[in-house]
Amino acid sequence: MFIEKIAPRFSETDVLGHINNTVLPVWFEAARVPIFKFFTPNLDPHQWRLIVAKIEVTFKGELFYGQDVEVKTMIEKIGGSSFVILQQAWQHGQCCAEGKTVMVRYDFANKCSQALNEQERDALSAHLI
């Protein structure tokens, strides 16, 4: 599991004083960087090997400005060429949002999915829940 602390910015709040619902996918993507490095260690976009097939976020509670948020990132499932990343946003010891992202190992030259190799599978498995 990877854990990243985020300090919400004032610009991420909505009129009700909560963290806006559009912010969570951005935070979750930022917290996926350690997983991206399994596939592209230097994060060079010209050597990218992943695409997003699906994103979903379930809101379970309120998140507030001025209070740190912990984003926990883990792997929920590993398939042949895809895997599911489970992420949670925690504030004050409560899980306030949960996201799932389906990522696909992708061959951009041939425009098709590509099987996960053994090294990638091992790296992902180390964070499997």
What pLDDT sits at residue 15?
85
CATH of domain 2-125: 3.10.129.10
- Decide if 95 contacts 87 (C-beta within 8 A): no
pLDDT beneath 70: ranges in the chain: none
- Decide if 28 contacts 99 (C-beta within 8 A): yes
Composition of the chain by helix, strand, coil, percent to 5: 25, 45, 35
| Reported pTM | 0.93
What pLDDT sits at residue 14?
87
Q: What does the domain layout of the chain look like in residue ranges?
A: 2-125
What pLDDT sits at residue 6?
96
Between CA 55 and CA 53 the distance in angstroms is 7
- Decide if 129 contacts 98 (C-beta within 8 A): no
What pLDDT sits at residue 27?
97
